[in-house]
Each structure stands twice: as C-alpha cells, then as structure tokens.
C-alpha cells in the first residue's frame, strides 16, 4: 500500500489497509480507504471500535514473551507460513495480463522471503544511522504443498473472475471466488485492482471486539495485491508498474497482516503515539516517491526506507527490531496467525511421493539461427521426497525421441529446478516436444503434467539495411512468424493501406505469445539507425493485447526488450477505416549499433481481444526520414544550414544517380548512391555559390528534374 494518501488515526481491532494508485495525473491525490473500510466493517456487525484494545493486548503479550525469555529480547523462529496465491484473472492464457505466470509468482515469494529475513540485496542501502536497529525475522513463506482436501498442490490457484476489475467494495465478492481456510493458509489474492495497489486484513486479539464474528472475518482474511504490482523485475521481464516493480507492495501488506502499522501511525502529529514501535523515528506523514537521504520530520531524521512507509519499491529496504518483535507476538498468539505455523499446508500429502511437473520451456527461443542449441526447461518437484533423479526425452515433429538421464542436486518438495542439455534442431519450422519421466527412478504418480511442446523456427536469412516492409507481397522470406498453433495469429488483411499485417487476437486460444521476427541484420558499421512503423488498435479493456518490441544481438539465443516503445490505443474502431485510425512510432535503434547478428521481433499476446494492425515498417540507415505519401518517390528540400536533402521512397533497393546542373547547363555535382530505399541523403554542396540549380535524378528507371534554390554554407 504505497501512494500519496492522508490518513486519520483509527486504532482498531481489525484494520484493512488499502492504497490507491492514480492512473493519470488527474488522480494526483487519492486518499487511502482504511478508515472507511474499517468503519464499514464495524457498522456491518453493529460494533463500536475500541481503539486501544489491540495495543493493550499487544503489550500484555509482549511482556509475557519477555518474561519467558528472561527479560531479554531473543530471536525466535524459524517460522514457516503456507501461502496460497489465488490468481483471479480475466480469462487470459497463463502469463498474459491478469493471469500472471508462475515465474512472476515465484519472484514475489522470493522477494517476501528475502525482505523479512533481511537478505534483500539492497539492505546495504539502509543508512548507517538505522543499521543498528535493522531487524530480521526468521520466516519462510512456502507455497502450500497440499490443499484443504489433502491433494497435492503447487500453492497456485487460477480462477476466472466474475468481474474484469475490482474495488474495495468488492472485497467479499472477490475473495468468495477462491478461498482456502485462513486458519491454515495465508491467502493472497492477485487480481486487477482498479486504482489500488493492495490491502491487508489486520490480525485480531483475544480481547473483546469482533471475535464473535470470526466465521465472517475468517473468510476475508489475507492480502489482496494488484497483478501489476506483484513480483520483481529483478527476476524477470514482468509487466509491472513503474516505481512498484520490485515486489515491495506485498512486503508492505504482509507487514500489516502480521500486525505492523504505518510508520507514521496514520496521524499527522508529532506528539501522539505513532506506530507503537520504539525504534522507528516519529514522523507526521507518509513519504512518497524516492527522496534523497536525509529527510526530517518531527525534528528527527525520517526512516522513509522502512517497508511500512509509502516510498517507491527501490527506496524500501528495512524492518526494525521493534517491528520484528511486534510481528513475533502476532505470529505466536493471534488467531489465524499462530495456527499457520502448524498448518497441513506445510506438509506434503501422502500418495504423491514421486511427482514432477514440467512448467516451461525456457529455450530455445521461437526464432534463432543455430541448429545446435541448448534446451533449457523448468520443472517442479510435486512429490513428498527430495527429487534427485530425472529422465528427459525430446522429439522433433513427433519423431524419434532422444532421452537423457540426469542426477540432480536434491530439489526439495514443491521447489523448482532447471535443466539444460544440448539439442540439435532442423532448419525451418518444427514442433519441439519435451517429456519428463521416472522421478527418482520411479513411475510418476501423476504424469498428466509431464509434457510440453513449443514451435521453433531455425533460419539464418540475412538482409542488408535499409529495410522496408509494407506487406503488399509475400514477406515470408523476410519476416518469420511463429505461433503456438499451426494457424498463424499474424495474418495479412485489407485495410486503408491496401494490405496490412494483423494480429488476430479475436481468434487466439493459445497459451503462448506469437512472434513476428525480422531477418538477420548487420549493425556493426552503422553510426545511427531508427525504426518507424504504424499501427492501429482499439483496446478491449477486459482482454487487452500486449505488444512487445524485442531484439537479439546473438541471432536469437537471447531476446531483450527494446527501450522506448509502448503500445497504446489509436482509435475507437475495431478495424481501421482511414488514416486517422493509425499512429506512427519512431524508435531509436541505438542499442543495436556495433552488433553483426541482429534481429528485431514484434511479440504479441492476447486472449479473445481486438485485432492489432501493423504496416509500413521502415528500418533506416541514419535518421528516420520524413514520412512521404506512398506514391511520392522522392522529395527535395533545402537545408537551413546550406545544401539540400533528398528523401527517397522507392519500393526496391537500387542505385540512384544524382546530378546537379547550374543554370548554364554545366554539371557541378555528379554522384552514384547505391543501396537506396527509404533513407534521406544529405548533400552539403560546400563548393557551390548561392543560386538556383537543377537537380536531376534517375530513380526507378525514371528521370526527375527539379529546380531548387541552394544557399551556400
């Protein structure tokens, strides 16, 4: 829960913390709904809030704990907490939109464990002033190993929701769609929160309050996080909100779940009690963004690096010892917190001793050059014993299987492992199928999740810059399309530009993205290069299309995101009717300069969304030329600093002859420009006097002449 809000103090037995994230600048001040939600909950049960009840209980339990420890603070633990992630999605395939991938979930669990144990890589960013009070909690968040029925589980539940987005008022409706008993599982719901980052349900004490309503409270106990603030970009290329892309939203909300309050205590005062933790400095308000250290509040230095402030994810890095002690009291005493420590969710179920699941094929990528490459897979041990042996088989186009045996460093139950092995593929398109078998040398107790397939294209088709593609004729030898199914999701279709390429999102059923990959290009000799293309897209809010622009500098072994590109809606028309439905984007290719084996890729994914149209792809040597009408072959215009520019707009690469004559008919310039296509040529014309000249060109086997006034430098 981290964004500019202003809170009033309401110290209650039950606290739900909700934070609102503005979509545009017009939402610059959206206040937190903590007060309203808590008051609404108490009103629901006709109860009067008792602000001191929880803190009174907390102090009693703290004293008892200190007495048990001989009046000395000691480290308690380790604790293990079974987690179930309820992914409430909008029907997208796994890994797309709200239906986040397993990898994104694992990334978030990793952040949670590191932050609470103070093993986070940025712990060294805690200012030296606060290092002496930095605390660590010996806690391990574990994806649940068995579900409430006793069946094996990955701890991840996916459910198509009844709404495309949720607000705080939908709390009960959201959680009723997928819930595991909160006395045994730490429920975390991940969904599309409208203007929200996340919220948590505060623990309760055994004092008078809402205890008589435990059944109702239990069914909503847990944390809700927006799908685009869940996980860390340090572990993968996940589509996360800027500023909230390192997984600290869940760290913050889990702090609330275990009894921590905001560091400023939800008051705007330096005199009243703040967060009931002695080693967090007083401050009279939340901190936003990521300011420089130090900042002052209440005549002392603010600990805005605390996970319980509102700073951006990269600026958070510390729980204090006092906060850790407070969480320990809750863990060992509070209803539906202490019971988690002995949950059935921590125990691997019987009947599933040997069980492995193939989760993903990490490489090879859909399009690359090399036939001899590396097959890399990720799998999960769903058995009750450590996994130490595995057999891997792969085949190409359902041909002869090639099998290898692997002795593994022991992989604990429900943990993940990776394997890499050499594989030889064929030129062209093929279906690569992987099968796992014999976990620990024994038949798999559940073989239904042991196989995956992936379409791969191996080609090394090369072309020379500059490049143009208008999709009017066959382009299969230039641009490679790979879709999960045999039918391509990228198809040519009639548009305002005669024929364009469309990503047919309305027909997609696959669980993977579709790739459009260009030829191998040499950027090693270029000093400047740009890409320009046009697209038309009407967004379907419930089923959006994701478009990524990627590049590889090793001919396809690895792909990275190209900086400077984002997809947005261009029209309200599902199918483009005129030029106004299209938008143009120019992207710098500076990141590619100096590399010999470069490929560009448009990677699109959706599930029953609106179509996305692409056209007029231009790869320039040098600057991006001005956009000319398609029928205009050349444009001539003077440079303000002297000389002229020639912008060519021809269909095929060719040699262009340029001559410049003075008004006496004398040739003053003669040049041959090879490999001309779409680029702009700059002629400095240092030796010419100011005056009128005739520019004569041979382009497309036609001759063009034009008078032009040339200003001498």
Candidates 92, 103, 253, 286; catalytic one:
253
Q: Check if the beta carbon of residue 690 is closer than 8 Å to that of residue 643.
A: no
Encoded tokens for 9: 């103090």
> Minimal CA–CA distance to 685: which of 700, 699, 677, 695?
695
Q: Angle at the Cα of 22 (from 19 to 28), degrees rounded to 5?
A: 105
How many Cβ atoms from other residues are within 10 Å of residue 574's Cβ? 14
| DSSP-derived secondary structure for 291-306 | PPSP-EETTEE--TTB
Question: Distance of CA 248 to CAs 107, 123, 238, 328, Å?
Answer: 11, 13, 15, 20
Q: Could you identify the residue written with the tokens 């186009």?
A: 397
Q: What share of the chain is helix, strand, coil (3-state, %, to 5)?
A: 15, 35, 50
Q: Which fold has domain 356-458?
A: Immunoglobulin-like (2.60.40)
C-alpha to C-alpha distance for 669 and 673, rounded to whole angstroms:
13
pTM above 0.85, yes or no: no
Q: Could you identify the residue written with the tokens 């002869």?
A: 400
**Cis preceding linkage at 206, omega within 30:** no
- Taking the domains of the chain in order of start, what are their residue ranges? 16-345, 356-458, 467-621, 634-710
Question: Distance of CA 266 to CAs 53, 184, 253, 256, 347, Å?
Answer: 17, 30, 15, 13, 39
Encoded tokens for 593: 């300069």
Q: Show Cβ contacts of residue 52 under 8 Å, excluding neighbours closer than 6 positions.
A: 11
Q: How many residues does the chain have?
A: 713
Q: Which residues of the chain have pLDDT under 50?
A: 1-32, 35, 71-75, 351, 510-511
Q: Check if the beta carbon of residue 641 is closer than 8 Å to that of residue 712.
A: no
CATH number of 16-345: 3.40.390.10
Number of H helices, E strands in the chain: 7, 37
What is the CATH architecture assignment of 634-710?
Answer: Sandwich (2.60)
Q: Check if the beta carbon of residue 232 is closer than 8 Å to that of residue 251.
A: no
Q: Check if the beta carbon of residue 182 is closer than 8 Å to that of residue 376.
A: no
Q: Angle at the Cα of 239 (from 237 to 240), degrees rounded to 5?
A: 110
C-alpha to C-alpha distance for 693 and 665, rounded to whole angstroms:
9
Task: Give me the pLDDT at residue 8, please.
Answer: 32
218's enclosing H/E stretch is: helix 214-218
Q: Show Cβ contacts of residue 631 under 8 Å, excluding neighbours closer than 6 positions.
A: none
C-alpha to C-alpha distance for 57 and 328, rounded to whole angstroms:
14
What is the CATH architecture assignment of 467-621?
Answer: Sandwich (2.60)
Q: Check if the beta carbon of residue 204 is closer than 8 Å to that of residue 211.
A: yes
> Minimal CA–CA distance to 479: which of 496, 498, 501, 453?
501
Q: What are the pLDDT digits (tens) for 1-26?
A: 443 333 333 333 334 444 433 333 33
Q: How far apart are the first and last CA of the chain?
A: 60
82's enclosing H/E stretch is: strand 79-89
Encoded tokens for 453: 């397939």
| 253 is an active site residue | yes
Distance from the Cα of residue 229 to its chain's centroid: 9
Q: Are strands 691-699 and 654-661 parallel, antiparallel or unpaired?
A: antiparallel
Kindly state the greatest CA–CA separation across the chain: 107
What would you report as the CA-atom Rg of the chain, rounded to the nearest whole angstrom? Answer: 31
Tell me, letter by letter, the H, E, C secondary structure of 585-631. Answer: EEEECHHHCCCCEEEEEEEEECCCCCCEEEEEEEEEECCCCCCCCCC
C-alpha to C-alpha distance for 379 and 390, rounded to whole angstroms:
10
Task: Give me the pLDDT at residue 194, please.
Answer: 87
User: Are 16-345 and 634-710 the same fold in CATH?
Assistant: no
How many Cβ atoms from other residues are within 10 Å of residue 111's Cβ? 24
What's 107's DSSP letter?
A: H
């Amino acid at each position: 829960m981290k964004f500019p809000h202003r809170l009033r103090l309401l110290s209650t037995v039950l606290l739900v913390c909700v934070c609102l994230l503005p979509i545009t600048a017009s939402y610059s001040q959206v206040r937190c709904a903590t007060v309203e939600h808590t008051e609404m909950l108490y009103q629901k049960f006709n109860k009067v809030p008792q602000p001191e009840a929880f803190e009174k209980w907390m102090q009693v339990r703290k004293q008892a704990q200190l007495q048990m420890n001989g009046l000395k603070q000691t480290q308690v633990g380790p604790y293990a907490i079974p987690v179930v992630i309820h992914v409430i999605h909008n029907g997208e395939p796994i890994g797309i939109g709200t239906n986040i991938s397993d990898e994104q979930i694992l990334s978030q669990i990793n952040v949670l464990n590191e932050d609470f144990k103070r093993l986070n890589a940025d712990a060294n960013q805690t200012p030296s002033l606060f290092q002496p009070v930095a605390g660590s909690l010996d806690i391990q968040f574990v994806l649940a190993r068995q579900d409430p029925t006793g069946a094996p589980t990955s701890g991840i539940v996916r459910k198509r929701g009844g709404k495309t987005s949720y607000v705080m008022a939908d709390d009960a409706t959201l959680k009723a769609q997928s819930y595991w008993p909160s006395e045994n599982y730490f429920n975390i719901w991940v969904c599309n929160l409208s203007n929200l980052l996340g919220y948590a349900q505060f623990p309760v004490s055994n004092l008078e309050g809402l205890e008589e309503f435990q059944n109702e409270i239990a069914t909503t106990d847990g944390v809700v996080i927006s799908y685009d603030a869940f996980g860390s970009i340090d572990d993968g290329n996940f589509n996360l909100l800027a500023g909230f892309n390192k997984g600290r939203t869940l760290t913050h909300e889990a702090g609330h779940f275990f009894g921590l309050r905001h560091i400023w205590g939800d008051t705007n005062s330096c005199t009243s009690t703040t967060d009931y933790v002695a080693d967090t400095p007083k401050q009279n308000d939340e901190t936003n963004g990521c300011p420089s250290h130090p900042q002052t509040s209440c005549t002392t230095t603010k600990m805005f690096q605390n996970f319980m402030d509102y700073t951006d994810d990269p600026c958070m890095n510390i729980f204090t010892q006092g906060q850790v002690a407070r969480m320990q009291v809750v863990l060992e005493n509070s209803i539906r917190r202490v019971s988690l420590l002995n949950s059935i969710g921590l125990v691997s179920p019987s009947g599933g001793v040997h069980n492995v699941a193939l989760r993903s094929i990490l490489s090879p990528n859909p399009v690359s050059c090399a036939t001899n490459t590396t097959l890399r897979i990720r799998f999960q041990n769903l058995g009750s014993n450590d996994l130490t042996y595995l057999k891997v088989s792969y085949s190409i186009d359902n041909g002869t299987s090639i099998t290898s045996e692997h002795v593994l460093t022991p992989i604990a139950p429900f943990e993940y492992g990776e394997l890499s092995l050499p594989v030889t593929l064929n030129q062209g398109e093929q279906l690569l199928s992987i099968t796992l078998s014999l976990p620990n040398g024994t038949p798999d107790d559940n073989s239904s999740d042991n196989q995956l397939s992936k379409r791969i294209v191996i080609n090394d088709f090369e072309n020379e810059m500059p490049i143009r593609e208008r999709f009017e004729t066959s382009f299969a030898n230039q641009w490679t399309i790979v879709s999960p199914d045999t039918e391509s999701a990228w198809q040519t279709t009639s548009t305002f530009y005669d024929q364009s390429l469309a990503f047919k999102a309305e027909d997609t059923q696959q669980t993977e993205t579709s790739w459009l990959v260009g030829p191998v290009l040499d950027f090693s000799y270029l000093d400047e290069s740009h890409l320009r293309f046009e697209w038309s897209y009407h967004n379907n809010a419930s089923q959006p299309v994701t478009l990524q622009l990627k590049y590889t500098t090793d001919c396809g072994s690895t792909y990275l995101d190209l900086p400077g590109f984002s997809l947005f809606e261009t029209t309200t028309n599902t199918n483009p009717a005129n030029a106004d439905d299209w938008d143009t984007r120019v992207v710098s290719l500076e990141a590619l300069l100096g590399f010999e084996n470069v490929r560009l890729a448009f990677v699109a994914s959706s599930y029953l969304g609106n179509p996305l149209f692409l056209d007029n792809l231009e790869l320039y040597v040098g600057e991006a030329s001005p956009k000319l009408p398609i029928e205009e072959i050349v444009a001539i215009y003077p440079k303000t600093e002297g000389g002229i520019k020639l912008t060519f707009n021809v269909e095929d690469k060719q040699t262009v002859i340029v001559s410049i004559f003075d008004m006496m008919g004398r040739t003053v310039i003669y040049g041959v420009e090879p490999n001309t296509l779409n680029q702009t040529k700059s002629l400095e014309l240092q030796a010419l006097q100011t005056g009128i000249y005739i520019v004569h060109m041979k382009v497309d086997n036609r001759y063009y002449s034009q008078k032009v006034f040339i200003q001498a430098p």
